[in-house]
Copies of this chain bind each other. A is one copy, B any other.
Amino acid sequence: MILPCKNQWLLFGGIGLLSIFGFITLQKSRNIAKKEKIQQEKFSQDLLQSQEEERTRIARELHDSVGQQLTLIKKRAQNIADDPIAKMTNNALEEVRSISRDLYPALLKQLGLKDSIEQLINEYDEQTNLFFSMDIDEIDVYFTENTSLNFYRLVQECLTNIVKHASAKFVTITIKKEHKNIVTLIADNGKGFDVNDKRKKNTLGLKTIFERIKIMNGKLSIDSTLNIGTSFIFSIPIKK
């Protein structure tokens, strides 16, 4: 079909307008989807935060109320020299402490971040067949109370992942201050995984790691080779 030139220009203009309109609609839809994704991300981060608050609150309640009462019972049992009660009270206190410890790393406040992480790694070392080695800089001054807890959880989540899934024998943890970043390397010699496997990437553990790093504006790179091992390297920017 051959049209006169004027009609062709009309057609051309019409299609041009349509394209522009299509572009704008699509662009809007993309922006909405992106915005919704960001909101959803914010929600996940708020959820993680509120979960930490709940944990801290329960740990404090346990310590302040139940722990306090148990300490009084223990004293009274010692006073009246009743061994069975003293022993049972000790057991209960141990339980309360162990539950609290899982909920909030109480040592974080007492010992600080570096020592708490070392303590955490030592616990894993004792409780599992894995062999851990570590080299951790003095990093405490670079973190607030909130980011300390987040960073601690991040390391904990990585280690739990390794213990659960990696079938590794050795784990190396180094945490270093490099220029304006805290750079962490957590490497194991386990079975590795396909880092491009989306199902793997979307497990709760890995997503939580990603999200915690995002909360601190950090960057993560994962390097994994099947039957050789996996390295997590994350870099968290600091102000000082």
Chain A residues within CB distance 8 Å of chain B: 2, 5, 8-9, 11-12, 15-16, 19, 22-23, 26-27, 29-30, 33-34, 36-37, 39-44, 46-48, 50-51, 54, 58, 61-62, 65-66, 69-70, 72-73, 76-77, 80, 82, 84-85, 88-89, 91-92, 95-96, 99, 103, 202, 204, 207-208, 211
User: How far, in whole Å, are A5 and B12 apart by their CA atoms in the complex?
Assistant: 12
Known: A37-B37, A58-B58. A70 touches B92 (CB 8 A): yes
Give A31's nearest chain B residue, CB to CB. B33
Interface pair A43/B211, CB less than 8 Å apart: yes
A interface, over-half SS: helix
Asked if A8 contacts B19 (CB within 8 A), the reply is: no
Contacting residues, chain B, for A88 (C-beta < 8 A): 69, 72-73, 76
B44 touches A44 (CB 8 A): yes
**Identical chains in the assembly:** 2
Instruction: Knowing A12-B8, A27-B26, A58-B103 are in contact, say whether A202-B73 is a contact too (CB < 8 A).
Output: no
- Apart from A11-B12, A58-B99, A66-B99, 9 more pairs, CB < 8 Å: A2-B5, A8-B8, A19-B23, A44-B44, A46-B204, A47-B208, A62-B99, A76-B84, A92-B92
Q: Write out the residue numbers on chain B whose beta carbons fall within 8 Å of the beta carbon of A43.
A: 44, 202, 204, 207, 211
Q: Find chain B residues with CB under 8 A from A42 CB.
A: 202
Q: Is the CB of A47 within 8 A of B51?
A: yes
Cβ B66 vs Cβ A95 within 8 A = yes
A37 CA to B40 CA, complexed, in Å:
7
Residue in B47, B66, B84, B91 whose beta carbon sits within 8 Å of that of A44 in the complex: B47
Q: Which residues of B contact A8 (CB under 8 A)?
A: 5, 8-9, 12
Residue from the list B47, B72, B80, B211 in contact with A48, Cβ < 8 A: B47
- Closest chain B residue to A95, Cβ basis: B65
Q: Is the CB of A50 within 8 A of B82?
A: no
Q: 15 A-B contacts, Cβ less than 8 Å apart? A: A8-B12, A11-B12, A12-B15, A19-B19, A33-B34, A36-B37, A43-B202, A43-B211, A44-B47, A51-B51, A58-B103, A61-B95, A65-B95, A72-B88, A73-B85
